[in-house]
Structure 1
Amino acid sequence: MGHRGIIRLAGMLLALLMVNSGWAAEPRLEPTEQERAQTLTLFHEPIVMLQAKFGRLDGAARVRIVKERVRQLQPEDLTHPVTVVSSTRLGQEAREFRIHDKHLLVLLEKDLEWLDELTLDQAAERVRLRLENVRIKVLELHSNAYLIKAAGKTVLVTLIFLVVVQLLRRGHLRARRWFANNLLQQKGLIPHQWRQVLGNLEIRVIGVFTLLVILLLTYGWLTYVLGLFPHTRVWSEQLGSSLLGLCSDILSGIIAAMPGLATVLVIFVLTKLFIRMLAVIFERIERGQFRVQGLHSETIGATRRLLSVVIWLFALTVAYPYLPGADSDAFKGVSVFFGLMVTLGSAGIMNHAMSGLVLIYSRALRPGDLVQIGEVEGVVTELSALSTKLVTRHDHEVTLPNAVVVGGKVTNLSRLSSDKGIALLTKVTIGYDTPWRQVHAMLELAARRCQLINQEEAPLVRQLNLQDWYVEYELQVRMKEGLLPGPVRTELHGHIQDVFNEFGVQIMSPNFVAQPEQAVLVPQENWYQAPAVPPAEVATGEKGKK
């Protein structure tokens, strides 16, 4: 390096002298204006903060004197290392920094703060290393051999980086094709029925993983390349320290969270074991091995679920303080959000949920029961916490909110049927000119002709009302097991009409308007007017032969 090169090098070193963020012997996070004025920075790197008075000179004046001494350095001075000499100045212990035996600056003991927890020698050594680092950077910046070597390393590392990225891209494409082929063949770790919701989850996971790897490689490549050149080395150090700081924070957070997570795990395991113990007890109660007053087979499932929810909520309440970040603003925001959701939806949901508990524990109905709720009649297929579902005789599913069920009239048609069969009721009105004993006999005869009625149980006829023009009779029969009222009622009504027509008795249901001159009957010879077909002809096929 020639004489002019050394002069340019010294001029650049002087130009890099600036006041920056607050450093004393050690860094300050939030420096004041005075601390900025007292801080010496070289090559974007804070060196020292001269805050003590030296005679009549304050810290800012001492910094200006150091800058003047740098201007007076000869070019060949930068080729020598920085040295430290112990001395005493104005009755204060000091450390002098020299380059090629030329005085550069003085570090006094009062420049240090007790918070730094450093001795004067320790602080002086750190300042010397910073000055030496800056001197080497300036020399490297004007060393053609070093710059050529750094450029070659940059090209080589960049080529390796591009090759690795290309290999990752090709591997990602091959993985996409492989998983897509498995998806067509319905193979993979995820069950096929879940694919409609999750889709090709493996491809998305591999895509995210590949992107993260490329981002990390880019970060490392950029950090390494910037560190090769003196002008950008400070950025490389900042990137490296940021990544190391992030990893350190994550690792520290994991280590700090381990005791809390261990406590949460213990609470979870104990809660799980307790719920399993309750499940065993409830299973034995359901089988009849145990008997507990107030618990019935209909309420075992609801009681088990209710206790499980209460126990898990209690466990979550106990474990919440031990969760990582439980005191953070994010957790507080989530708590406020869930509290708002519960407040807005609690009125309706809790009303239906409490109504569901009333239905379950009152044992008013259960799945499989034939019930009538208001005007809806059907078989109960589901009794959940919020609603009750029925299947009607029209094969329609009707969903009733539990609050509506509790607020209305519930008639359980099958609860007391036992082995007799479900009771089926129908009504007819017959005039006073027909003996009631004859009506009883005809209704009983019609019941005995039904194939869908349990003939082991005798039909029961009641006289409900004596109206102005007729008597209201009620017939009660028992259906065979497993039948719905619709088809049984249809068959029974047909036989009632046939029997009353056979004996010439007029049915006056549902309303009587005027007494006709002749009884309103259908003669037996007209029972099978076209297109109706007599049962005998249907069985033998004679109707088709004609």
Structure 2
Amino acid sequence: MSRITSILMAFFVGWLFASGTACAAAGDAEKPDDAVTLRILNRDIVTMRARIGGFTPQSRVRRARERLQALPDEAIALPINTVQFQSGDTRGVQFLLGDLPLFSVVEGDVDPEAKQDFGALVKQTQGRMEEVHGAWGQMRSRPMLLHGLARAIGATLLFCVLVWVAHRGMARSVAFMEKRRDVLAARFTYVDWREFLARLAVGILQVLQWFIVLALTYSWAQFVLASFVATAPIAHDLGDWLVLKISWLAEGALDSLPGLATVLLVLAFTRVIVDLLGYLFDALQKGRLRLPMFHPETVGATRRIFTLFVWCVGIAVAYPFLPGASSDVFKGLSVLFGLMVTLGSTGLVTQLMSGMVVVYSRSLHKGDFVDINGVQGVVTEVSALATKVTNVRNDEITIPNSVVIASPIHNYSKLSGTLGTLLSTKVTIGYDAPWRQVHALLIEAAGRTIGVRATPAPYVYQRALSDFYVEYELFASIENPADRIPVLSALHASIQDAFNEHGVQIMSPHFLGQPEHPVVVPKGQWYAAPASPVTPVTPVTPVSAAS
């Protein structure tokens, strides 16, 4: 009776297949359906690719799952049966659990790319169904379930113990290395290689700690999943996945060796070129070699530009040989980096170009005493983006190079040479003071001041004959341009002392009315001390000579 029922079921499936042929004719002309794999108890049974009776592979898999879920518990004792059917030129096999239909496999389900015929596909599917049938029976076995629970509980307890031991052990190791690192850091004022190794060991131990925890978690999950029949295939897939990833990494490393070797050769050759350029620029900077258009002040900046250019060319040549250089990730990063440079490079390029103008104009360099946009001080750094100046209050002032090139630069050290750099100060004295005496007093005050050079000698100009007073300006050379402000302060003090000693009033008088007597200097007082008859009317030291 069971055999007759199976035959009738086969004819019924063939009739369904024949009746759905006309309905599916229009769909067959369209693109083929997506293949869907039927999975039972986390196990692959068969991949369905063809339509049966108008049912797509998705519908066939869904109906098979519905039938499996509707099976009664006593059906587990029924055997797996197969019944062949024929509809036109298409052959098929119906899989049954006893007399209960499960799903059908047809010739259209054969993978055209695999070297497999329909008979082999049916045999493979039947073997997988037998395996699922056996696992289904084991799932409902209470001893098997208790055994799996015992294994899972034992593995969980062992996992917790191992994680605790690994955490404590690695924590102690990290603490020991951190203590060793701190001791070495306190012992040396510089970075010693032992301190560097200690820091590296701390980082490696921290990473290794997480790696051990992840490895234990992976092993625990695989063992627990393998303890139960339903999840055993997942555990098997986890193991296969790990082996596959390790194999993939190993194969990728081996495949990338030629590319990495090429990259290393290109970078090594680039380093050789950079070292040769460094030797050349060192010789230019020290004066052992002279070339046109290369000045000692600009050699440092030129060296950085050439070095950057050579490295950019080397990286551009080596880039295509990097592993994964043609992947979408590298392409996406390149696009993102280019977008960032494009959006944020306007101000940066302006500052870089301004820095090049500052360097190659040779208007200032490190150690010069300058006045830039009202800021006086000593230049401590001339970088690509900004210039740093330290003023008399020991404040470090950073001036962007775009501001530097847009402002007048007063460099008091540039032309100091052997004659020093000029320092000047002004006083206004009434017409009742002999100008020869004022000249002599100013020159005497300059001679008393520490830091003022005796050669060239100080001199005085009468800059203006105003309505109420005469404007005198004293010029003197100083030794160190960086001492300009303290020397000027000392010079002011010396001028006050000299004028007070000789009773000459430092004041700019203003009159509200005409004085009763002419404000003049009698001829007998023209050479009042410390002036002498040999005092020249016009200084003999020109400004160009002093500078």
Asked if Structure 1 and Structure 2 have the same fold, meaning a TM-score greater than 0.5 normalized by the shorter chain, the answer is yes
Distance 1:153 1:495 in 2: 99
CA contact (8 A) 2:451 2:480 kept: no
For 2:364, the equivalent position in structure 1 comes to: 365
Q: Corresponding residue for 2:44?
A: 46
Pick aligned residue for 1:162 from 160, 163, 168: 160
Q: 1:413 to 1:139 in 2, by over 3 A?
A: same
Q: How does 1:73-222 map to 2 (within 5 A)?
A: 75=77, 111-119=109-117, 123=121, 126-141=124-139, 150=148, 153-179=151-177, 181-182=179-180, 185=183, 206-222=205-221
Q: Residue 231 of structure 1: SS of its match in structure 2?
A: coil
Q: Deviations over 1:213-238 (max 9, x none)?
A: 22322222222222232222233234
Q: Structure 1 residue 331: deviation in Å?
A: 4.0
Where do 1:437-516 residues align within 5 Å?
437-481=436-480, 484-508=483-507, 512=510
TM-superposed CA distance for 1:148, in Å, is 6.0
* SS of 1:219 mapped into structure 2: helix
**1:269 is matched by which residue type in structure 2?**
A
Q: Tell me the distance in 2 between the aligned counterparts of 1:410 and 1:172.
A: 61
Partner residue of 1:528? none
**Given the superposition, is the C-alpha separation of residues 274 and 98 from structure 1 closer, same or farther in structure 2, using an over 3 Å criterion?**
same
Q: Distance in 2 between matches of 1:352 and 1:50?
A: 66
How far apart are residue 439 of structure 1 and its match? 3.3
AA aligned opposite 1:286: Q
CA–CA separation in structure 1 for the residues paired with 2:445 and 2:486: 15
Q: Report how far residue 243 of structure 1 moved.
A: 3.5
> Corresponding residue for 1:394?
393
Deviation per residue, 1:307-355 (Å, 9 max, x gap): 2223333333344444444455544554454444434433333222222
Residue 383 of structure 1 aligns with an amino acid whose one-letter code is V
In 2 relative to 1, CA 50–90 (structure 1 residues): closer, same or farther, beyond 3 Å? farther
Contact 1:182–1:188 at 8 Å: present in 2 too?
Answer: no
RMSD: 4.8
CA distance in 2, matches of 1:281, 1:382: 24
* CA distance in 2 between partners of 1:473 and 1:281 (Å): 53
Distance of aligned partners of 1:113 and 1:387 in 2 relative to their CA distance in 1, 3 Å threshold: closer
Deviations 1:66-91 (A, max 9, x none): x99x999995857xxx9x999x9999
- TM-score, length basis structure 2: 0.70
Distance 1:368 1:204, change over 3 A: closer
CA distance in 2, matches of 1:278, 1:340: 32
Q: Look up the equivalent residue of 2:291 and give its one-letter code.
A: V
Q: Deviations over 1:45-100 (max 9, x none)?
A: 33235767999x99999999xx99x999995857xxx9x999x9999999999999
Aligned partners of 1:132, 1:325: CA distance in 2, in Å?
44
Where 2:387 maps in the other structure, the secondary structure is: strand
| Separation (CA, whole Å) in 1 of partners of 2:485 and 2:290 | 39
Change beyond 3 A, Cα 1:241–1:98: same
**RCO higher in structure (CA 8 A, sep ≥6):** 2
> Could you tell which deviates more after superposition, 430-439 or 369-378?
430-439
**Identity percentage of aligned residues:** 36
- Tell me: CA distance 1:270–1:430, structure 2 relative to 1, closer, same or farther (3 Å): same
In the alignment of these two chains, the number of paired residues is: 473
For residues 480 and 455 of structure 2, the distance between their equivalents in structure 1, rounded to whole angstroms, comes to: 12
CA drift of 1:449 comes to 2.2
Paired residue for 2:409? 410
- The answer to whether the Cα contact below 8 Å between 1:442 and 1:500 also exists between their aligned partners in 2 is yes
2:227 aligned partner: 228
- Residue 299 (structure 1) shift: 0.9
Q: How far apart, in 1, do the equivalents of 2:321 and 2:436 lie?
A: 82
CA offset digits 1:332-390 (Å, max 9, x no partner): 55445444443443333322222221111111111111112233222111212222222
1:266: how far off?
3.0
Where structure 2 has 5 or more consecutive residues not aligned to the other structure, the ranges are 1-30, 193-197, 520-547
Q: Find the aligned partners of 2:265 and 2:302 in 1 and give their Cα distance.
A: 25
1:218-264: CA deviations, max 9, x gaps? 22222222223222223323433444444455445545544444443
SS of equivalent residue, structure 1 residue 223: helix
Structure 1 gap ranges (5+) = 1-30, 520-546
Deviation of residue 305 (structure 1)? 1.4
Partners of 2:188 and 2:120 in 1: how far apart? Answer: 61
Contact 1:186–1:192 under 8 Å retained in 2:
no
Q: Which residue of 2 aligns with 1:25?
A: none
SS of the counterpart of 2:425?
strand
Residue of structure 2 in register with 1:314 after alignment: 313
Instruction: State the alpha-carbon separation in 2 of the partners of residues 225 and 61 from structure 1.
Output: 33
1:393 touches 1:484 (CA, 8 Å); kept in 2? no
Distance 1:168 1:440, change over 3 A: same
AA partner of residue 385 (structure 2): L
